[in-house]
Amino acid sequence: MIPVVVDMDSGTDDALALMMLLNSQAVEVVGITTVGGNARLADTTRNALRLLEYMGRPDIPVARGAARTAQRAFHYAYDVHGARGLGIPLPSPTTRPVRSRAPAFISRMASRYRGKLNIIALGPLTNIARALRKEPRIVEWTKQLVVMGGAVDVAGNITPYAEFNTFNDPDAAHTVLASFFATSLVGLDVTTRVSFDRTDAPWFTGDAPAATLSKRIVRTWFDEHLTSPRYHLHDPLAVIAALDPNLFSWHRASIDVEMENAARLGMTTATYGSGPVRVAVAVRAEDATAAVTDMLSRPGDRASGA
Ligand code: BDR
Ligand code: CA
């Protein structure tokens, strides 16, 4: 089993990504770290706890991370993700986050699963950058860091230049993408090619817990965004990249993140050829979409749907 820490700003597509991982027989989610981004930290943490409980996995530890960046408050996306960042009601969690905060938790997991840990980062990179500053050896201990973020050779989604996650903490994105983590960058270049169409409802088959909740989340999102024909699978695609990288074409690069120019904050520019990051430049979109559907339509081995 691949040990995975998920760093997330849960978020509707973060929720789908988490349920894919929980449904996978190949993965052991050893912990979740939360960060503000799509919603306030209190909401993203609560959503992570609620999702774990719904999926019958309240045993998975959740560590709270950053409520803001070193420079500023996060820009939230309640308009995209809905009330409390998920848009659907779920019972209140009965569990609480663990005592350690995200950076310490990430270091501990990287040390415990030395050489094996996969980190899948689905929000602003604030927690990962702080973990790196605290314990630089996590770079060697982590097998792979998959980042959903950046818009390398395409336009941004929060500004014409920047993708939402890198925009939200450009300094952290710079720190992490310039580090020597084995990083796979899954940005808008590929994620905007992988989506569910409104007309393809119900998108998932069966009535297992992940499929049932995913249907509710995606259906509610379409109901709230009546003029949008497509729901982009940004964070789910990062999960696919971690588990099935052969569906992508990758180019090695060094990535520059704009940290100063106010209009271009979070813009990601690649110099291809060499560098610490492999950038997803193309994806077999139909296969990737089918893989998302499949992972969320499975019964899942431990899901109870309680
Ligand atoms: C990213 O921003 C968030 O809204 C999504 O959850 C995803 O991580 C896409 O730009
Ligand atoms: Ca996210």
Catalytic site includes residue 232: no
**125 belongs to a structural domain:** yes
One-letter identity of residue 220: T
Strands 277-283 and 183-186: parallel
Q: Which helix H or strand E contains 161, and what residues bound it?
A: none
Binding site membership of 157 for ligand 1 (Cβ less than 6 Å): yes
Say which CATH number the domain at 42 has.
Answer: 3.90.245.10
Give residue 300's pLDDT band: very low, low, confident or very high (50, 70, 90).
low
Strand order across the 183-186 sheet: 62-64, 27-34, 2-8, 117-121, 142-148, 183-186, 277-283, 248-257, 268-272
**306 belongs to a structural domain:** no
Residue 304's pLDDT is: 42
Binding site membership of 164 for ligand 1 (Cβ less than 6 Å): yes
Residue 83's pLDDT is: 87
**132 belongs to a structural domain:** yes
The whole-model pTM stands at: 0.96
**Is there a contact between 214 and 177 (Cβ–Cβ < 8 Å)?**
no
Q: What is the pLDDT of residues 247-273, one digit of tens each?
A: 999 999 999 999 999 999 999 999 999
Task: Give the distance from CA 254 to its chain's centroid.
Answer: 21
Tokens of 21: 């991982």
Per the structure, the count of domains in the chain is: 1
Residue 298's pLDDT is: 82
Q: Which of 80, 161, 167, 234 to mutate to test the pocket of ligand 1 (most atoms within 8 A of CB)?
A: 234
High-pLDDT (> 70) share of the chain, %: 98
Domain range for 16: 2-297
Ligand sitting nearest the alpha carbon of 35: 2
**9 belongs to a structural domain:** yes
Q: Catalytic residue, from 174, 232, 234, 251: name it.
A: 234
Residue 305 has pLDDT above 80, yes or no: no
Q: What is the pLDDT of residues 70-125, one digit of tens each?
A: 989 999 999 888 889 999 999 899 999 999 999 999 999 999 999 999 999 999 99
**Is there a contact between 16 and 235 (Cβ–Cβ < 8 Å)?**
yes
Q: Which of 6, 8, 80, 122 to mutate to test the pocket of ligand 1 (most atoms within 8 A of CB)?
A: 122
Q: What is the mean pLDDT of the chain?
A: 96
- Please count the residues of the chain: 306
**303 belongs to a structural domain:** no
Locate all alpha helices (DSSP H) within the chain, ordered by sequence: 12-23, 41-54, 78-81, 102-112, 126-134, 138-141, 164-168, 170-177, 188-191, 209-224, 234-243, 285-297
Residue 306 has pLDDT above 60, yes or no: no
**10 belongs to a structural domain:** yes
Binding site membership of 10 for ligand 1 (Cβ less than 6 Å): no
**305 belongs to a structural domain:** no
**182 belongs to a structural domain:** yes
